[in-house]
Chains A and B, each alone.
Chain A
Amino acid sequence: MATRAASVSTSADIAEQLGLTTRFSFFTGKGGVGKTTTAAAVAIALARRGAPTLLVSTDPASNLGDLLGIERARVPTPVPELPALSLLDIDPVAAADAYRERVVGPVRGLLPDAAIRQMEEQLSGACTVEIAAFDEFTALLTDPALSERFAHIVFDTAPTGHTLRLLALPTAWTGFLDTAQHGASCLGPMAGLEKQRERYAEAVAALADRARTTVVLVTRAETSPLAEAARASHELAALGMRAQRLVINAMLDADHGDAVARQWIARQRAALHDMPAALRPLPTLELPVRAGSLTGLAPLTALALAPTQPPLEDSDALTAADASAAPSIPELPSIEALAAELAAIGHGAVLTMGKGGVGKTRVATTLAVALAERGVRVHLSTTDPAGRAFELPLETLPTLRVSRIDPVVETARYADEVLGAAGTLSPEERALIEEDLRSPCTEEIAVFKAFARVLAEATHDIVVLDTAPTGHTILLLDAAQAYHRDVLRGSGTMPAEVTALLPRLRDPSFTRVLVVALAEATPVAEAERLELDLVRAGIHPFGWVLNSLLSRTDTRHPALQARAAGEAVHVARACANGRRVWAMPWSAHP
């Protein structure tokens, strides 16, 4: 401990190392990369210099409040041990609920229940959650009282480019909300915002001002999070948010002779070697691997003040302490056990679902191979561009067939179809439809059509797909199906595969959905939300697969062992309510 204290006094804090001086900072990155922890460390560093700082957390999985000694902070609340720092919790799902209620509430009881349900579903998508969260940010970005009170406001998330572009399109406000005249768009969720457009414009201007706003892209030295960071960097820069920094988390520099650590290091080296060009010019801070969650203000402060110092160099003592204190991790069945169970059934569809980066493709591929090794005829269909599925020794697995759904190709084909059908458009109309086409829903729909084609053949074989529509998409398709059936009789716009698919997706003897998650706070919370969304659409997941468990490896590396011990609490949460859970060990190929 003495060594650490000495080096703290000589090294720059995390905000300084990031060159972060602006009033606003936004942290963006995939779930599980450490956004909230990094944002908290930056806020602590700023506050410890004496600058009044507000940390805004939108992470429903975060226990920052617990760590900092505050119950859910609905208004900016000072941290008792560090009064220059205040915390504000925004629950994006609750914000979306409140937002939906603002739109629907005034007409509840005045319109038929069916109409109310239709409105509620329209306002239940991912877009609404994003828009509602941005609505909350707007208040923070434009409130003069907050400007006086705080020198810095640190957000542990960032609005997406899709949201910002929609807001930036003047047509979004003038042409469509005023008259609702043309073929609009993702604007349904924006209906509740019309009265605030000036404040909105102000917020968007603050974001694009590099003297006021910095974006911190948080990632890990892995291919998929780096690609996501590059995408966000490009997208936000195009919107004027050009003051950007890069944080690469969970770096390991010594393997201590441990095989898992050696693979970890090899993987991070390869990923950094192939780092997207867009990220290379950015000021970059690499942070060493830490135990899964930092418990208490002290370790967060250590990260704030000495960010690049490995936290576990006093490792023997720490490991011994952790091992005795760590809750034991429940024994979970393996993917092979799952394959044996499915092989006995012999047909149907298995869909792996989860947020990007949790390893849907790895789970699907491992499962398909295990089934094929049992002699079951399997069709593995993947959306992964050049993934492991195409490196399989197919000649030794005669009952395995692999095909690919390319989301880029499917989305482009769909976009052409849409714009072709739209015919002559004014430039404003075209811009808005094109923005619709960039929404996450569009890719989902485009992939869904390809997905429906593949699934149509699952009667005899087992089809394994590493993608699946969300509950929201299914409910929208349901609505669209009813609409098409009743309204557009015989027009043939509804592909037959889609019509056949919806009831089969809800048939538990045909479709088995596996929710894939990592044993970390945010990914588990995201998986829970995904499950709720599916249940809402009448689909009950077969179970969960926890991927990349360090606790299922034999690592002896102290930092990795500490992380492994930290998985227990998340595994326990995944196993709650009698949920069936299978486990896959960490691998260098996620």
Chain B
Amino acid sequence: MTRRALPQFDIAPGHTLDGEVVVFDPAMCCETGVCGPSVDESLLTAARDLRWLTAQGATVTRHNLGQEPTAFVHYEPVRTLLAERGMDALPATWVNGRLLVSGRHATRDELLAALAPTATA
């Protein structure tokens, strides 16, 4: 499996990512996928992408159903999503209050597009 190196200059120098990303994950025994039948690289990739977003200035929060169920209760949009689409809707990502993707993790390109870089003041 090939892995892309972490992007160092995906956004122009002097710019920052401004925005809020909220991710809701299903209850996984372990988010590394260690407990699954194979290593789940998509989970590791998602973890790294989200961490990178944080380093670029975005506000990222991530909630695992098994660890923080109350976060699900308090976020109306995810409750509605689960009621409509069931558990397959997880993981789901909201950017600035808008549902970006559900049923899988957002790719870094999708996240970057949704969080338009803004020039730092």
Q: Which residues of A are at the interface with B, using a C-beta cutoff of 8 A?
A: 103-104, 106-107, 110-112, 114-115, 118-119, 121-123, 125, 177, 179-188, 191, 417-418, 421-424, 433, 436-437, 439, 441-442, 445, 448-449, 476-477, 480-484, 486-488, 491, 493-495, 498
Contact = CB atoms under 8 A, between A and B. Distances in A.
Contacts of A185: 30-32, 34
A564 to B, nearest CB: 42
Given A177-B67, A181-B47, A182-B47, A498 B72 contact: no
A477 B34 CA distance: 11
B96 interface: no
Nearest to A502: B37
A186 B35 CA distance: 9
A123 B64 CA distance: 13
Contacts of B82: 111-112, 114-115
Contacts of A180: 62-64, 67-68
Contacts of A423: 3, 44, 48
Size category of the B interface is: 35 or more
A432 B61 CA distance: 20
Contacts of A494: 37-38
A104 B27 contact: no
Contacts of A123: 66
A125 B41 CA distance: 23
A442 B35 contact: yes
Contact of B27 (A119, A179, A421): A119
Contacts of A183: 31-32, 43-44, 47
A441 B40 CA distance: 16
B103 interface: yes
14 contacts: A111-B72, A111-B82, A112-B82, A115-B72, A122-B29, A183-B44, A188-B66, A191-B67, A191-B68, A418-B34, A422-B39, A436-B35, A442-B35, A448-B37
Interface in B21-67: 26-44, 47-48, 50-51, 54, 60-67
Given A112-B86, A115-B82, A185-B30, A103 B35 contact: no
A207 B50 CA distance: 38
Nearest to B38: A493
Contact of B73 (A111, A121, A188, A480): A111
B68 A476 contact: no
Interface core residue of B34, B44, B54, B88 (most chain A CB under 10 Å): B34
Given A107-B73, A115-B65, A123-B66, A181 B54 contact: yes
Given A185-B34, A187-B30, A486-B88, 14 more contacts: A103-B69, A107-B69, A111-B82, A115-B72, A180-B62, A180-B68, A184-B30, A417-B38, A439-B34, A441-B34, A442-B35, A476-B36, A477-B37, A483-B36
A481 B87 contact: no
B83 interface: yes
B44 A436 contact: no
A123 B47 CA distance: 22
B66 A119 contact: yes
B1 to A, nearest CB: 7
B70 interface: yes
A441 B27 contact: no
Given A107-B69, A480-B36, A122 B54 contact: no
Contact of B34 (A111, A177, A188, A436): A436
Contacts of A110: 73, 79
A537 to B, nearest CB: 14
A422 B70 contact: no
Contact of A495 (B3, B27, B38): B38
Interface core residue of A417, A421, A437 (most chain B CB under 10 Å): A421
Contacts of B103: 486-487
B86 A114 contact: yes
Contact of A493 (B40, B60, B62, B67): B40
A103 to B, nearest CB: 7
B37 A181 contact: no
A179 B82 CA distance: 23
B28 A188 contact: yes
List 5 tightest A-B contacts by C-beta distance, closest first: A480-B36, A107-B69, A188-B66, A122-B66, A191-B67
Contacts of B6: 424
B104 interface: yes
A106 B69 CA distance: 9
Interface core residue of A110, A423, A449 (most chain B CB under 10 Å): A423
A118 B51 contact: no
B66 A441 contact: no
A428 to B, nearest CB: 12
B47 A495 contact: no
Contacts of B30: 184-188, 436, 441
B70 to A, nearest CB: 6
B34 A442 contact: yes
Nearest to B104: A487
Contacts of B63: 180
Nearest to A492: B38
Contacts of B69: 103-104, 106-107, 111, 115, 119
Nearest to A182: B47
B28 to A, nearest CB: 7
Contacts of A191: 66-68
A491 B42 contact: yes
A272 to B, nearest CB: 38
A188 B29 contact: yes
